[in-house]
Structure 1
Amino acid sequence: MSKELKHKLKVEPYPYQRDGILFGLQKKRLMIGDEPGLGKTLQSIGIVDCANAYPCLVICPASLKINWKREFEKFTYKNALVLDNSTRTTWPYLLRMGMYHVAIVNYESLRKYFVWDIKTNGTFRLKDVVFCPEKRYFRSVIIDESHRVKDPEAQQTIFTKGITTGKPYIVLLSGTPVVNRPHDLIAQLSIMERMTEFGGRSKFLSDYGQKDSDLTELSRNLYDKCMIRREKKTVLTDLPDKTRVDLYVDISNREEYNIAENDLRRYLEEYTECTDVEIRRKMRMKALVKFMTLRALSAKGKIKQAVDFIKTHLANDKSLVVFCSYHDIVDDLKKQFPKAVTITGRESLVEKQAAVDSFQGGHSKLAICSIKAAGVGLTLTASSSVAFVEFPWTYADCCQCEDRCHRIGQKENVTCYYLLGEHTIDHKLYQIIHNKKSIANQILGTDDDVPTDQLYFDELVNSFMDYGRD
């Protein structure tokens, strides 16, 4: 597109992202179908911000709520609010007073926050739903992973349709808008209020729902009326070789985690006050064990959100490599994704190679790996996406894991997702790792003659104590 984009975003979008924002400003009710990793989030935020279409409602998977809040506040000068029990009754007031400009809700909570009543028992339709009047506040709605509302009969689809009706700006995001068949587009086109442009539901099915339908014509009509889609291979010149995305997620075991965190904090206060070298050395080892326990609890608490994230990613028909530290985490994920291959160090060499071959050959879309067993020596370039449910202690080891996908044979930009527990040790540890890129030694080294270990540990202690006082 030749038209110049005037914006007030805090970042400068890539050229193809500017095109996406301009397309959205022109169409207003649209779908961004770019492949994962191309920045659909930034483009949708850019559309809303450039149009000043606030307040904005974001409907997204549960694992991405905190990330959407952070992204809005990173890219714009607006405040975003995640809807939860603490704001269940106050969010309309907070929006009306201008204290927040964006509200974020997950699909499963639409009924909780936006539906007053359903005037029938059992199966219902849109006309049976009584929505709360506050939904009128929103001038724009962003629907992330919109293929989740492809079923016209599903409750979440009905609620989403009711919330979006009449909104000036409606932006759907999906790397796979058509999951199985053209029929999948009907509900999404209806939500965009575009169905009449295709002649209505009956004509759409007549034109495109048959085995011999001209899907080339459907594609042309979609791109002309309401959809923009780019693949990584077409915009590689705009992209860095590797992109890191920090995804902050809620943990499910907050009470258990807080008990362990308070115990560690009390112990570190004793440690910092101790002046005896020998006692301090022994206390340091015990503190390391407590740090390990805290990390394990954070990982345990992220399982539910990790499963949601993985399902969301796989729904885009893209392969994924997931890294963990503890076998328990690997096993929990394997239970949820039995078709995944695992590389954990518990397999024989033959089994390990078979897992790699299955993944590289496209027979399995998900590889669940332990950091120690799969962090070096393997090629997993069938995926251009890496996710860390847990992460190593050092930057060098992070790179080693990332480079299972980011290596010779990889033809796409690699996106590395770090799932970080909100308000946990993850944040400070991750910050230290990436601030201290020169540190290659493991923090668990017990030799006090190695200065990097001691310095790393001291910085971890100081950061943790400072974090507790924030």
Structure 2
Amino acid sequence: MSRTFAPSRSRARKGGTIDNTGLIPVLARAVREVETAAGRGHVSPAGRTKFQVIALLVREERARAKTDEDMSEADRAETLKRLDGVATILAKTAARDTSLIALLETSVPTSDAARSLRRRMLEEAGYEVGQEQAPAPVATDPLAGRQVMPVSVRARQLANPFLAPDLRPAPSLTSRRLANWELLGPLFRSFEQGGSVTSMPLPEAPARPRWAPAGQTLMHHQAQLIESVVRGHRTFLLADEPGLGKTAQSLIAASVADAYPLLAVVPNVVKMNWAREVEQWTPHRRATVIHGDGADLDAFADIVIVNYEVLDRHSGWLRTLGFRGMVVDEAHFIKNLTSQRSKLVLQLAASLRERTTDPLLLALTGTPVINSTEDFKAIWQFLGWIDDSRPRPALMNELEEIGLTPADPGFGRAAREAVIDLGIVRRRKIDVAADLPAKRVVDLPVELDDDLGRSIKQAERELAQRLVSRYRALVAARKPVSDIDRPALIRMVAEQELEESRAAKTGENIFTMVRKIGQAKAALAADYATQLARSVGKVVLFAKHIDVMDQAEAIFARRDIRSISIRGDQTAIARQREVDAFMTDPNVKAAVCSLTAAGVGLNLQVASNVVLAELSWTAAEQQQAIDRTHRIGQGEPVTAWRIIAAHTIDAKIAELVDAKASLAARALDGDDSEVAAEGSVQLDALIHLLTEALR
């Protein structure tokens, strides 16, 4: 059924009086009738049909008002305000009769009676309604059978069935001089020609920015981007090199822009780290991480973190939650526009822009271009700069102001600058070296939620139970036990377990458990190293066990990342040949090294990024590995990315290793940080496991 607009429409007149013609007065009268019926009890079937049609027409009229180029800004604001009044009454009515809430879903089909009533209401409003047509067949959603609806999400929908309307006007075109030109091709080609630095001019940050929480400090380059957000900029392709704090910049940007709720779509390997960074940089905000079907999801959280692999199950309700900001981490993952994850991300962004006129949108990637400049396309679509075939209004207006066409000399350079100014930001480590420490370790907690991960957690529980049983048997033999005796008994049990574990040939113990954790982390560590290799160049991956190294090398091969290997069974000649290839061949992007065999005596300073796939038992061994790149001749700050298995003994081992590093710093460098009690890391880990189990 089609309709055309009659000359009279509801709008404000001069002097502030309201024109009571058009669709909105019809909707207002109808919604009052339904509200009155709900006040008397349950709404009748006819009233339910009227409720559904009112909601449908409110959505249609709001979408029309936001995109009507002939409507003045004052009329647009007044129309949206009055539609909000109708929506508020609908919300109050649904609160009285909660069965009406289901009728607000856009997916609910309309009956013949609803279509007939919609026609009558439009005719009453003065619209010319065309002949009614049979509803078009609905395309089957291939993902419909996989969609889930977490209980927490349904609770939020019931608590807030209407989203607050956004009354800000949507950008509109100011000219149509370039309307008939093909523009995307010239825009992509303009980035092939080089030119100035691919980064928008950023404002100078305040001398003492106060956006970071107590105990945290933003670096100068981070504060510059936040100042841009403070001044109203809302779309960014943040292409900083890894290690420059893109996650922190995104979270602080959301805070100063009040872009909550915020959706973060991230790779699986970093989603736990995102939750930790929320606690670190915006501790006043709550984050929730979607695992699997979202059984433990908190839909009332300020920040929802989801990994690409489960988007297909959650895209339905994510489109309706009312996000005001969205971050896509490692945004080059969506460069293939035909892939399912790209389509889902772009659908989410499109639904967000429909609900919010000026949302905060950030695409984070160190490698926005991998094969060709057309890799930009999906990212620019996500940011709302272009659609499938043309620039959108914000970019088109910038291109119109250039005053040139693609046939004119100078168009490419000027168009490139226009795109960059929309929000491309690129800083390299070497550019901001003064902001960074010369060497640092960054922990990346990962969730082991596959079968191997579950078996590791089960083995950890069984080991803890074995320790508890031994402790209780020892207590029973020594009654009474004073509080002073308890720490000594716990240590005695841990020492006995450690001694038996070192001698054991079979069975589960702390050594076999740590090895399994390394195997479970191998793929995640190699995936992250791949991202680094593609974004900043050469990377060194360290592991303790041969099977973990084998997994990493196999993954690099599948990802077309050429790698070399440093192992303990190599001859000196073979090892030097591998080192030389890594240092001199630009096509060799990764070195897979044994912690014990390659931790000393090697110079790998051509790389400034290190991935620690497995933890060392000693702080010294870890530092020796990192120092293979932090050597004379290294021109950039070195970052070591330590992969930590969250919610396992791996996290405690990392903490203990750091404590031993503090001990070394205190003894040799005069550092005054807290020092852990002496003892092996293995023993302290077992003591921790038993102590926690006894609680």
TM-score over 0.5 for the pair: yes
Give the equivalent residue in structure 1 for 2:467.
268
| Whole-angstrom CA distance in 1 between matches of 2:218 and 2:602 | 34
Separation in structure 2 between the aligned mates of residue 139 and residue 438 of structure 1, nearest angstrom: 43
What amino acid is aligned across from residue 82 of structure 1 in structure 2?
V
Alpha-carbon distance, 1:377 to partner: 0.7
2:273 to 44, 67, 84: 67
- Provide the identity percentage: 27
Q: Are 2:628 and 1:404 aligned?
A: yes
Match of 2:334 in 1: 149
Name whichever of 418-427 and 16-25 sits farther off.
16-25
Q: Which residue of 1 aligns with 2:306?
A: 105
Find the structure with the greater CA-based Rg: 2
SS where residue 247 of structure 1 aligns? strand
**Mapping 1:49-198, distance limit 5 Å:** 49-76=255-282, 77-85=284-292, 87-88=294-295, 91=297, 94-95=298-299, 98=300, 100-115=301-316, 132=317, 134-165=319-350, 166=353, 167=356, 168-195=359-386, 196=391, 197-198=394-395
Contact 1:394–1:439 at 8 Å: present in 2 too?
no
Asked whether the equivalents of residues 42 and 75 of structure 1 are also in contact (C-alpha less than 8 Å), the reply is: yes
1:107 Cα offset (Å): 1.4
Q: Which residue number corresponds to residue 15 of structure 2?
A: none
1:37 match: 243
Alpha-carbon shift at residue 455 of structure 1 (Å): 5.6
Question: Quick one: distance in 1 between partners of 2:251 and 2:577?
Answer: 43
Q: 1:255 to 1:191 in 2, by over 3 A?
A: closer
1:358 maps to 581
| Whole-angstrom distance in 1 between the partners of 2:327 and 2:694 | 36
Query: Counterpart amino acid of 2:454?
Result: E
Distance (whole Å) between structure 2 residues aligned to residue 370 and residue 208 of structure 1:
57
Match of 2:564 among 327, 330, 341: 341
Q: Aligned residue for 2:227?
A: 22
Alpha-carbon separation, structure 1, partners of 2:512 and 2:519:
10
Moved more, 299-308 or 157-166: 299-308
The CA distance in 1 between the partners of 2:653 and 2:405, in whole Å, is: 52
The C-alpha deviation readout for 1:157-198, integer Å capped at 9, x for no partner, is 221111112051111111111222221112211111112245
Question: What do the CA deviations read for 1:61-116 (whole angstroms, capped 9, x no partner)?
Answer: 1111111111111111211111123525x74xx33xx4x1111111122111014x
Aligned to 2:420: 223
Give me the TM-score of the superposition, normalised by structure 2. 0.58
Cα deviation code 1:328-359 (max 9, x no counterpart): 11111112223311101122211111111111
**Equivalent residue letter for 1:298:** I
1:127 counterpart residue number: none
State the partner residue of 2:143. none
Aligned residues: 432
- Of 298-307 and 365-374, deviating more is 298-307
CA distance in 1, matches of 2:433, 2:495: 51
Distance in structure 2 (CA, Å) of the matches to 1:434 and 1:19? 32
RMSD of the alignment, in Å?
3.1
Gaps of 5+ in 2: 1-202, 479-488, 665-676
Q: Mark the runs of 5 or more structure 1 residues left unpaired by the alignment.
A: 116-131, 441-451
**1:7 correspondence with 2:7:** no
Aligned-partner residue type, residue 326 of structure 1: H
Aligned equivalents of 1:426, 1:396: Cα separation in 2: 18
Q: 1:321 — aligned with what?
A: 540
Tell me the equivalent position of 1:304. Answer: 523
Note if contact 1:250-1:302 (Cα within 8 Å) is conserved in structure 2: no
SS in 2 for 1:58: strand
The residue matched to 2:596 in structure 1 has which SS? helix
Counterpart of 2:142 in structure 1 is none
Matched, 1:374 2:588: no
Structure 1 residue 317, shift from structure 2 partner = 4.4
Q: Deviations over 1:184-242 (max 9, x none)?
A: 11221111111224549xx9xxx9999x9987545533332211111111111111111
Segment of structure 1 superposing worse, 180-189 or 50-59: 180-189
1:3 shift after superposition: 5.0
Q: Tell me which amino acid in the other structure corresponds to 1:54.
A: Y
Range with bigger deviation, 296-305 or 374-383: 296-305
2:618 aligned residue (394, 414, 417): 394
Aligned to 1:285: 499
Distance 1:439 1:9, change over 3 A: closer
Give distance in 1, aligned partners of 2:694 and 2:329. Answer: 35
For residues 281 and 133 of structure 1, the distance between their equivalents in structure 2, rounded to whole angstroms, comes to 50
Structure with higher strand content: 1
